Amino acid sequence: MSAVLEVRNLSASIAGQQVVEDVSFTVPATGVTAVLGRNGVGKTSTIKAVLGLIDRTGTVLLDGEPIDREPTHRIVRRGVGYVPEDREVFTGLTVEENLRLAVRDREPRRDLVEALFPDLVRRSAQRAGTLSGGQQQMLSMARALLNRNRLLLVDEPTKGLAPKIVTELAVALEEAARTVPILLVEQNLQVIERLAQDVVVIDGGRVVHAGPAADLLGDEAAVRRYLGVHAEEPGAAPPRTHRTAEEARP
């Protein structure tokens, strides 16, 4: 299958410290590819390096065209949507104002967004700062989905949210993935099992495993080694400590 994104030998540093080291992977043109790994291993940095938000070296191809020398705004204009880890909605603005500010296309996909997030329609006049964490996450996703993107980068959308909201978000992501390929940073194994075809596991800034999601989830020892959890534990998610990858290693 053709790849929408091809990352080759990507390295990146933050404040002089290398946080992404020689990372290579591809994202198929359909479905969900999950990026996983313990806290602090470089998942967010990898996404930011793809977007040019942090200094990077290496090759990044979007539909076969290099984007690794381009500034972030051009990459976004080429059709790369981003739902950041900390949601980044404008808290002082209403839901509707947040959506309107996100529109890039001449004909935004209002119907899709309203079908996926009916709660946001009901809350269109509400200030985003007064939404729950889950509702803010939905707003952040809605902002990205309004535009016709070639690829969506979604960073830990379910982090810190209640199980019911996690399920709602997973359903929305599943629907969204029918319209756009998604590279999803996610630590919730149930969500990965439900959504992801392929996985890329990062540890210490490097790719330590890549392949079909089912293969990884079926390998209890590998899941424990990479994430420190049991795949079959209900609601299993890696411990949310702030250990570095080095400290987290057994």
Ligand X SMILES: Nc1ncnc2c1ncn2[C@@H]1O[C@H](COP(=O)(O)OP(=O)(O)O)[C@@H](O)[C@H]1O
φ, ψ of residue 178 in degrees (nearest 5): -75, -20
Dihedral (CA of 184, 189, 190, 196) sign: positive
Q: What gap in Å lies between CA 223 and CA 229, rounded to an integer?
A: 6
- Least Å distance, CB 199 to ligand X, is 14
By beta-carbon proximity to ligand X, the closer residue of 43 and 123 is 43
Select the residue interacting with ligand X from 40, 52, 84, 238 (CB under 6 A). Answer: 40
**44 belongs to the binding site for Mg ion (CB under 5 A):** yes
Stretch that binds ligand X, among 12-20, 73-81, 87-95, 230-238 (CB under 6 A): 12-20
Residue ranges of alpha helices (H) inside the chain are 43-50, 72-77, 95-102, 110-116, 118-122, 133-145, 163-176, 189-195, 213-217, 220-227, 245-248
Select the residue interacting with ligand X from 13, 39, 94, 179 (CB under 6 A). Answer: 39
By beta-carbon proximity to Mg ion, the closer residue of 153 and 216 is 153
- Least Å distance, CB 43 to ligand X, is 3
Task: Give the DSSP letter of residue 38.
Answer: S
- Least Å distance, CB 108 to Mg ion, is 28
Dihedral (CA of 34, 20, 210, 26) sign: positive
Q: Which residue has its beta carbon closest to Mg ion?
A: 44
- Least Å distance, CB 240 to Mg ion, is 11
Burial of 25 (0-12, 13-18, 19+ CB in 10 A): buried
Select the residue interacting with ligand X from 3, 14, 53, 61 (CB under 6 A). Answer: 14
CA distances from 227 to 106, 156, 223 (A): 43, 15, 6
Stretch that binds ligand X, among 42-50, 130-138, 167-175, 228-236 (CB under 6 A): 42-50
By beta-carbon proximity to ligand X, the closer residue of 42 and 134 is 42
Q: By the criterion CB under 6 A, which residues form the site for ligand X?
A: 14-15, 19, 37, 39-45, 244
